[in-house]
């Protein structure tokens, strides 16, 4: 993000907090950081506010901006700062102060120190409030203080700011389109899945036939990709004994994200698996003996279970039961570079199929300040990080170094892409791991007869099927490519006398492998039935009446484009097959 834009948004967040205190002086302040598309600020209101109050807050913010107040940095002794926040009864700010080690603490002041707004902040900011020219408050939501469900629920106000009114209006326009494409909104009409928090559980999606078909096709397609690269398909159980998770390091390092233990008897304790890697390691032990067996690659369309916080669950993009195109590659150190290149090429090929562009990669590194949070010694981490960075450089893709974002067992590559609206999504993960093979005492016999420890690559190109499906639904606005659509053709007879021909066409299509084909011969006006098919985003609607019966043809309507003319049945089938085979993202009838 541009430095000026970041300062602009940070300053606007402070103006928001100042406006809130002017309107509701007894409000308690949380934090107000800049985020990718704007900013937010967390508040504890004495009386809850609603979305309708945002306009009132915006009006007060505009007054602060029109006053063109100075914004400046000051420093206080930590003890003085504590007294300041006791005086103003700001418990959340005092909690933040306790975690600061410095004796001098940075604050930013808007206006006068006595009558203006003073906030604990490192900055940077603009120099005057009048520099803010285009902003908008977007929404309110609940958010636990510090993201912990044990803490109080605060009110989070989201907003954004831009350097011009034109940029803001373009953003708001895109945001409205995003709301229409939201997979949760489209799902109400198209019925891919459902989540029942009361009976089944929050964050646990059940796929309905339409969604199940999408997932089935994605699974089959990616498995064939993996097999072509020498990956073996395996299946692993959903639970395993605690010993496995202690050895892997998940219980000491990842337990807060795992579901509670299941005690079977006095001696045996099991956990739902949060990751597949420890089980794939056990497969390695059964299959690999010599260097000749390497690289040993396994792939597993496996469901794992992670206890995501309730406030972070979001449709299919953040769930507690998630299925991954997960896989692991065990190999000798000298094989790493070539294997990473193959995986990067695979990822680029996969995303190209769905017409995703602007791919970037975050190289997630260990935090140098918190090394105790990670397995392994410095030399191993330095080697692994250097290998990943070199592989990305060779690929030519744009990348960022992200300190502190590595997994506890190794550095990783996190792939991000932009959808048709320019929004950024995280997809693939490729992790390089020297540590777990050592913890599990994995070995192979090398050419000279010595025992060596393999290296392990963790990879998932889709990431999770849940999240990737949500991405596809929003990217295509529900108009998925034909090969992913459950119901491909709906035949609509003009009247009852054309129904027999409609069912004959259906039988011919199905005999040629085109599925699912349905006939809508309900006793309703033709226009109503066509409209319903369009609302349900059926790719092809075939209308048959007297002309079609007499000429053995079909009148074809293409989703979102309408009537494209008459086709004989053989030509129609041929074009459908070609579109499915070529994995096209646009109707072949519009080429």
Count helices and strands (H / E) in the chain.
Answer: 18, 28
List 210, 297, 320, 412, catalytic entry: 412
- By the 8 A CB rule, do 236 and 280 touch? yes
List 14, 136, 306, 488, catalytic entry: 306
Q: Any idea what the CATH number is for the domain that residue 506 is in?
A: 3.40.50.800
Structure tokens at 333: 């150190």
HEC string for 327-359:
EEEEECHHHHHHHHHHHHHHHHHHHHHCCCEEE
Using DSSP, state whether 497 is helix, strand or coil: helix
| CA nearest neighbour of 478 among 172, 188, 221, 222 | 188
Based on the domain organization, do 371 and 451 belong to the same domain? yes
Q: Please report whether residue 107 resides in a domain.
A: yes
Last residue of a domain, one of 423, 448, 475: 475
Which residues are 303's β-sheet partners?
323
**Region 370-388: what's the mean pLDDT?**
81
Based on the domain organization, do 586 and 553 belong to the same domain? yes
| Average pLDDT for the chain | 93
Based on the domain organization, do 348 and 465 belong to the same domain? yes
C-alpha of 512 from chain center: 37
Based on the domain organization, do 533 and 417 belong to the same domain? no
Q: What is the pLDDT of residues 248-272, one digit of tens each?
A: 888 888 888 899 888 887 789 999 9
Based on the domain organization, do 367 and 403 belong to the same domain? yes
Based on the domain organization, do 392 and 508 belong to the same domain? no
Which residue stretches of 480-538 are H helix? 499-511, 526-535
Q: Name the domain count of the chain.
A: 3
- By the 8 A CB rule, do 558 and 510 touch? no
Based on the domain organization, do 467 and 490 belong to the same domain? no
Q: What is the pLDDT of residues 425-477, one digit of tens each?
A: 989 899 998 888 999 999 999 999 999 999 999 999 999 999 999 999 999 99
Given the structure tokens 């009110």, which residue do they identify? Answer: 155
Q: What is the pLDDT of residues 178-203, one digit of tens each?
A: 999 999 999 999 999 999 999 999 99
Please tell me the predicted confidence (pLDDT) of residue 468: 96
List 28, 181, 273, 458, catalytic entry: 458
| CA nearest neighbour of 161 among 29, 11, 57, 30 | 11
Based on the domain organization, do 413 and 524 belong to the same domain? no
Structure tokens at 248: 């892997």
| CA nearest neighbour of 77 among 39, 116, 105 | 105
Stretch (H or E) spanning 250: helix 250-254
CA angle 53, 142, 201 (to 5 degrees): 140
Based on the domain organization, do 499 and 445 belong to the same domain? no
pLDDT-based confidence at residue 1 (cuts at 50, 70, 90)? low
Please tell me the predicted confidence (pLDDT) of residue 407: 77
- By the 8 A CB rule, do 17 and 41 touch? yes
Sign, CA torsion 393/375/368/147: positive
Q: Please report whether residue 15 resides in a domain.
A: yes
Q: Any idea what the CATH number is for the domain that residue 96 is in?
A: 3.30.980.10
Query: Is-catalytic flag, 217?
Result: no
The rounded distance, in Å, linking the Cα atoms of 364 and 5 is: 25
Query: Is-catalytic flag, 306?
Result: yes
Query: Is-catalytic flag, 378?
Result: no
Last residue of a domain, one of 475, 495, 530: 475
Last residue of a domain, one of 458, 475, 492: 475
pLDDT-based confidence at residue 540 (cuts at 50, 70, 90)? very high
C-alpha of 563 from chain center: 36
Based on the domain organization, do 412 and 521 belong to the same domain? no
pLDDT-based confidence at residue 396 (cuts at 50, 70, 90)? confident
Using DSSP, state whether 141 is helix, strand or coil: strand
**Crossing angle for the helix pair 183-190 and 165-181, nearest 10 degrees?**
30
Query: Is-catalytic flag, 14?
Result: no
Q: Please report whether residue 253 resides in a domain.
A: no
Please tell me the predicted confidence (pLDDT) of residue 303: 95
- Examine the pLDDT at 212 and tell me if it is beyond 70: yes
**Region 89-104: what's the mean pLDDT?**
91
Task: Name the percent of the chain lying above pLDDT 90.
Answer: 77
Query: Is-catalytic flag, 125?
Result: no
Based on the domain organization, do 431 and 333 belong to the same domain? yes
Please tell me the predicted confidence (pLDDT) of residue 15: 97
Based on the domain organization, do 466 and 488 belong to the same domain? no
List 9, 14, 231, 324, catalytic entry: 324
Q: Please report whether residue 138 resides in a domain.
A: yes
The rounded distance, in Å, linking the Cα atoms of 62 and 69 is: 12
Which residues are 426's β-sheet partners?
416
Residue count of the chain: 591
The rounded distance, in Å, linking the Cα atoms of 303 and 179 is: 29
Residue range(s) defining the domain that contains residue 435: 213-238+276-475
Please tell me the predicted confidence (pLDDT) of residue 103: 86
Q: Please report whether residue 106 resides in a domain.
A: yes
**Region 5-28: what's the mean pLDDT?**
96
Q: What is the pLDDT of residues 267-288, one digit of tens each?
A: 899 999 999 999 999 999 999 9
- By the 8 A CB rule, do 137 and 57 touch? yes
List 121, 231, 273, 277, catalytic entry: 277
Q: Please report whether residue 300 resides in a domain.
A: yes
Q: Any idea what the CATH number is for the domain that residue 218 is in?
A: 3.30.930.10
Query: Is-catalytic flag, 121?
Result: no
List 119, 325, 326, 419, catalytic entry: 326
Q: Please report whether residue 191 resides in a domain.
A: no
Q: Please report whether residue 464 resides in a domain.
A: yes
List 181, 280, 328, 498, catalytic entry: 328
The rounded distance, in Å, linking the Cα atoms of 232 and 223 is: 9
- Examine the pLDDT at 371 and tell me if it is beyond 80: no
- Examine the pLDDT at 218 and tell me if it is beyond 60: yes
Strand 553-558 to strand 562-568: parallel, antiparallel, or no bridges (unpaired)? antiparallel
Task: Name the percent of the chain lying above pLDDT 70.
Answer: 99
Query: Is-catalytic flag, 53?
Result: no
């Amino acid at each position: 993000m541009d430095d000026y834009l970041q300062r602009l948004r940070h300053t606007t967040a402070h103006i928001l907090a100042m406006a809130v205190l002017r309107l509701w002086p007894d409000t308690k302040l949380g934090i107000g950081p800049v985020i990718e598309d704007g900013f937010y600020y967390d508040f504890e209101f004495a009386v809850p506010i609603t979305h309708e109050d945002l306009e009132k807050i915006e009006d007060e913010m505009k007054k602060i901006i029109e006053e063109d107040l100075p914004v400046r940095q000051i420093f206080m002794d930590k003890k003085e700062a504590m007294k300041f926040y006791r005086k103003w009864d700001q418990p959340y700010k005092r909690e933040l102060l306790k975690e600061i080690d410095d004796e001098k603490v940075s604050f930013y002041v808007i206006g006068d120190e006595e009558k203006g707004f003073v906030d604990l902040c490192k900055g940077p900011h603009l120099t005057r409030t009048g520099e803010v020219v285009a902003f908008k408050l977007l929404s309110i939501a609940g958010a636990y203080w510090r993201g912990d469900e044990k803490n109080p629920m605060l009110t989070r106000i989201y907003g954004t700011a831009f350097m011009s009114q034109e940029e803001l209006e373009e953003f708001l326009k895109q945001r409205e389109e995003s709301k229409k494409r939201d997979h949760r909104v489209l799902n109400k009409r198209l019925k891919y899945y459902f989540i029942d928090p009361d009976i089944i559980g929050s964050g646990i999606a059940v796929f309905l036939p339409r969604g199940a078909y999408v997932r089935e096709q994605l699974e089959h397609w990616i498995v064939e990709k993996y097999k072509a690269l020498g990956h073996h398909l395996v299946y692993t159980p959903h639970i395993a004994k605690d010993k496995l998770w202690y050895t892997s390091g998940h219980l000491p390092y990842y337990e807060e994200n795992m579901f509670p233990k299941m005690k079977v008897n006095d001696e045996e304790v099991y956990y739902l698996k949060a990751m597949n890697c420890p089980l794939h390691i056990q497969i390695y032990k059964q299959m690999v003996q010599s260097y000749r067996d390497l690289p040993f690659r396994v792939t597993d369309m496996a469901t794992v279970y992670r206890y995501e916080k309730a406030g972070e669950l979001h449709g299919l993009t953040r769930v507690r039961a998630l299925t991954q195109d997960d896989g692991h590659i065990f190999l000798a150190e000298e094989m790493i570079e070539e294997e990473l290149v193959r995986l990067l090429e695979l990822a680029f090929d996969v995303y190209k199929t769905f017409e995703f562009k602007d791919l970037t990669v975050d190289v997630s590194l260990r935090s140098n300040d918190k090394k105790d949070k990670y397995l392994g010694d410095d030399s191993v981490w330095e080697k692994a990080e250097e290998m990943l960075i070199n592989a990305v450089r060779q690929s030519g893709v744009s990348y960022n170094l992200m300190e502190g974002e590595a997994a506890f067992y190794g550095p990783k590559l996190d792939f991000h892409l932009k959808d048709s609206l320019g929004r950024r999504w995280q997809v693939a993960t490729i992790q390089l791991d020297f540590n777990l093979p050592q913890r599990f005492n994995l070995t192979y016999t090398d050419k000279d007869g010595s025992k060596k420890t393999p290296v392990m690559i963790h990879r998932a190109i889709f990431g999770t099927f849940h999240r990737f499906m949500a991405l596809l639904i929003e990217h295509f606005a529900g108009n998925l490519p034909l090969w992913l659509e459950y119901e491909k053709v709906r035949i609509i007879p003009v009247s009852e006398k054309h129904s027999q021909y409609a069912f004959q066409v259906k039988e011919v299509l199905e005999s040629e492998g085109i599925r699912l084909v349905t006939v809508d011969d309900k006793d309703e006006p033709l226009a109503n039935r066509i409209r319903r098919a369009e609302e349900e985003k059926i790719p092809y609607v075939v209308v048959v009446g007297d002309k079609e019966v007499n000429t053995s043809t079909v009148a074809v309507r293409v989703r979102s484009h309408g009537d494209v003319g008459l086709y004989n049945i053989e030509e129609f089938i041929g074009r459908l097959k070609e579109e499915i085979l070529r994995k096209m993202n646009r109707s072949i009838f519009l080429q």
